[in-house]
Amino acid sequence: MSAKLQQLETILKPVVEGLGYELWGIEYRSRGHQSLLRVFIDDTDVGVGVDDCEKVSRQISGVLDVEDPIQSEYTLEVSSPGMDRPLFRSEQFSAFVGHKVQIRLRMAFEGRRKFQGLLKGVEGQDVIVEVDDHEYLLPFDSIERANIVPVFE
């Protein structure tokens, strides 16, 4: 996790949890003069709706105005993780063992950056994914983005 994401999580986690939600994860994309801060919140008991996101957004916005961790202009989005929920931490990967996942790496591993397959587990600092009957141990620190792939039956 980058220093900027750690700083944002330190600032935002108490705010989100104080409102009764779980801070699922944070995405921050710096795009020159206009950046994007996306905050994912969850409530495992009842889920997250638009009103929940709006409430959290108002509180976060106030805290960010005071703390000012992002110097450029930015857009704040507060969202539920959704069915194709992103995975940010090793505990989240462990909780979704047995699900289909899509993983994109920062740099190629064994000649590829994209993996889609069955999440088999977490072993030390590696995520185990089975793709076409082959298990890959992907270093957690090299994962750029990971999502659950929804299965509709």
pLDDT in tens, the chain (153 residues): 688 889 999 999 999 999 999 999 999 988 777 889 999 999 988 889 999 999 999 999 999 999 888 888 889 999 999 999 999 999 999 999 999 999 999 999 889 999 999 999 999 999 999 999 999 999 999 999 999 999 887
Going from N- to C-terminal start, the domains of the chain cover 3-79, 90-148
To the question of pTM greater than 0.85 for the whole model, the response is yes
CA–CA dist 55, 136 (Å, integer) = 41
Exposure class string for 19-37: b at 16+ Cβ within 10 A, else e: eebebbbbbbeeeeeebeb
The class (CATH top level) of 3-79 is: alpha beta
From the candidate CATH numbers 3.40.50.12780, 2.60.40.420, 3.40.1160.10, 2.30.30.100, the one assigned to the domain spanning 90-148: 2.30.30.100
Task: State residue 42 phi and psi, 5-degree precision.
Answer: -140, 155
